[in-house]
Homo-oligomer: A and B are copies of this chain.
């Protein structure tokens, strides 16, 4: 129970999740007294959760190496241990991404053949979602790893949507074969040669929300920047619109009319808040929620994890990967 907003958003989100998601059981790890205090402040009944008292927390600026070596008593470490030992079916965290990836890789089994787990989230779009990966788990990637991301994304879409041959595209700065970095061009060749994939070629940044592909593949550095640029653009537009509505009497009247339509609009189109990012390629369900998560977005991440666990996604993705 950490992240930038800490208990203030995660506890109400947990209470909402218990109320709304059937059969859900939630174990909350953190400083027990702080959790109890926050429950009292918000009139949330703590007995509906299993509270596990964990004294330590991994700071947002601590390196993955430190998390691995020195943070066995942190809430994140303990949560992933519970997952490894089968005591929970999924983990949701709004904490340090690097640490979450490192601990998951260290403590959980990887799907057969998978070299590096990747972070994947759906983006909304005209007519359907597009699943994008990697969103930040792997900063420096090799072409073979990007191909595995494509395979995992494709398997995920097949499991979730029943689409037999999901359209896989590679994020690039142009659609022509000559465009892009050495890594992207190498990856394109491998993807095109992979019969189990329905590879449709390069896709550009302006097509993230047009549903031209079911899966968009990129390295974690580019993916994380792209995701945050979406967020920054949406925020800026929202601020600009508000400013325009404020600047004139005409705008003020229009603003009153439009307010209900714009309400939560930013949340809707913010892909990170849209659903939480799942770490694919592991034996268990690990969902990363945005560090600055609101109650709404943390709830989405819990719902996402619950659904993935209920559908036994890690096993099904692994199975799908072996099949193709």
Contacts and interface: CB of A to CB of B under 8 A. Distances in A.
A182 interface: yes
B257 A176 contact: no
A2 to B, nearest CB: 16
Interface in A212-229: 220-222, 224-229
Nearest to A220: B173
A235 interface: yes
A151 to B, nearest CB: 22
Given A206-B232, A261-B245, A173 B224 contact: yes
Interface string A170-185: 0101001011111010
Given A254-B254, A258-B257, A136 B206 contact: no
Interface stretch (A48-56, A76-84, A236-244, A307-315): A236-244
A253 B245 contact: no
A220 B221 CA distance: 14
A57 to B, nearest CB: 16
Contacts of A61: 176, 178
6 contacts: A98-B178, A139-B181, A205-B231, A221-B222, A226-B226, A257-B257
Which of under 10, 10 to 19, 20 to 34, or 35 or more describes the interface residues of A? 35 or more
A234 B238 CA distance: 10
Copies of this chain held together in the complex:
2
Interface of A: 60-61, 63, 98, 124-126, 136, 139-140, 171, 173, 176, 178-182, 184, 204-210, 220-222, 224-237, 239-241, 244-245, 250-251, 253-254, 257-258, 260-261, 265, 268-269
A3 to B, nearest CB: 14
Contacts of A125: 236
Contacts of A258: 254, 257-258
Nearest to A184: B221
Contacts of A208: 229, 232-233, 236
Contacts of A265: 237, 240-241, 244
Nearest to A185: B139
B205 A225 contact: yes
Nearest to A136: B173
A155 to B, nearest CB: 25
A180 B220 CA distance: 9
Contacts of A240: 265, 268-269
B222 A222 contact: yes
B180 A205 contact: no
Given A61-B176, A205-B227, A140 B181 contact: yes
Interface centre among A60, A98, A226, A229 (most CB of B within 10 A): A229
Given A229-B230, A236-B125, A251 B245 contact: no
A244 B245 CA distance: 18
